[in-house]
Amino acid sequence: MTDPLSTEPPVRAIPDTSVASASVHPLARPWLARLHPGLFSIPLGLLALAGSWQRLASFGWAIVPALTLSLLWLGLGLLALLLLLSAAKLVLHHGVFRQEFRHPVQGALLALMPVTCLLAVVLLRPTHPDWQAAVNLVIALCLMLQALIAWHIVAQLATGQMPSELLSPALYVPIVPGGFVGAMALMAIGLPGFAMLLMGMGLGGWALLEVRILNRLFAGPLPIGLRPTLGIEIAPAAVGTLAVATVWPELSADFIMIGLGIASGPVFAVLTRWRWWSQTPFSFSFWSFSFPVAALASCIVEAVRRGGWPPEVALAAVLLASALVLFLAIRTLIQLLQGRLLSQH
């Protein structure tokens, strides 16, 4: 069966977007050429979890700062490594990079790169106010790259060039989480007006994509290679609620609870399809669950803090998100040690 996430997209569906020659098996190419953009979901999940623990610091638990720093630097280290490897891939295998950009799924997942960088800015900015110039440059570059990817994805959808079998929640990434995390980053550097604008664009993009993607999901199971992207279905409502809580720090817990209520719908929808993804062989693509789940945990922490509720509820939510990330990390490390991390991508 052809893997829709593979760097060898089916010629029948998108004849002009194959990443490598049909005569060359993907495993025959250098490992750098097979470096998948979806790998950025790993540091994204780690940084999102660091943000969840960071929000727990307000409750005064002594172990929280150490865990936050460990996750933060681990996520930043992996992000820096993947950025360097991606730059090397762009230079040494620019044809592969170009074809990935044109691919409906991989092109959308490329947006994980700027989204992860923007989340890093959100986490680092409060403790490093002297990095203003560097932060502004990073945000500008990330938003431009994100806009380019979003433009390309919307163009494919709006002009009927998107193969129906490749419609998946991955298409949310450049437009919806990208818009919400971008709004949080702009808020962090003191640009609330532009943050509101970007949040509105994220909401508009969510509305634009929701009907098309849900229609595809309700039509039947996704191809096996796309099933791990179901985790991204949780992201719009979860990350949107977190963005609202960040942009309006004085917002009451009641409004955050409304957002959590909206987010519960996609969570249940993903859980009801558990047979779709639980029977799929593990790959790093399952890190798509980490960012939305960590965002949900952060929202619960915010609701507990603002509502004056028992802090143990917040701790339980973050521990559950941490357990999921730990499971994903162990499985990914096993694949890496076995040399199978990039074998299917």
pLDDT of residue 278: 84
Is residue 191 included in any domain, yes or no?
Answer: yes
Is residue 251 included in any domain, yes or no?
Answer: yes
pLDDT tens for each residue of 4-44: 454 444 433 333 333 333 334 555 678 899 999 999 999 99
58: exposed, middle or buried (C-beta count within 10 Å: 0-12, 13-18, 19+)? middle
Is residue 292 included in any domain, yes or no?
Answer: yes
pLDDT tens for each residue of 96-132: 989 999 998 999 999 999 999 999 999 998 888 888 8
Domain of residue 302, CATH code = 1.50.10.150
* For residue 267, pLDDT beyond 90: yes
pLDDT of residue 343: 66
Q: In this prediction, what percent of the chain has a pLDDT beyond 70?
A: 91
Residue 125's alpha-carbon distances to 72, 187, 258, in angstroms, are 13, 10, 28
The answer to whether 145 and 153 are in contact (CB under 8 A) is no
Residue burial 158-196, b: 16+ Cβ < 10 Å; e: rest: eeeebbebbbbbbbbbbbbbbbbbbbbbbbbbebeeebe
Is residue 167 included in any domain, yes or no?
Answer: yes
* 246: CB partners within 8 A, 6+ apart: 122, 184, 187
- 35-39, 88-92, 214-218, 258-262: least confidently modelled range: 214-218
Is residue 342 included in any domain, yes or no?
Answer: no
pLDDT of residue 317: 97
Mean pLDDT in residue range 215-223: 86
* For residue 67, pLDDT beyond 90: yes
Is residue 190 included in any domain, yes or no?
Answer: yes
Mean pLDDT in residue range 232-260: 94
Mean pLDDT in residue range 209-234: 89
pLDDT of residue 195: 96
Is residue 35 included in any domain, yes or no?
Answer: yes
The one-letter amino acid code at 341 reads L
pLDDT of residue 132: 85
> 253: closest CA among 303, 298, 309?
303
- 150-159, 216-225, 308-317: least confidently modelled range: 216-225
Q: Could you list the residue range(s) of the whole structural domain that residue 184 is in?
A: 26-337
Q: Rounded to two decimals, what is the model's pTM?
A: 0.90
| Domains in the chain, number | 1
* For residue 60, pLDDT beyond 90: no
With bands split at pLDDT 50, 70 and 90, how would you rate the model's confidence at 218?
Answer: confident
Is residue 8 included in any domain, yes or no?
Answer: no
**Beta carbons within 10 angstroms of residue 10's beta carbon:** 17
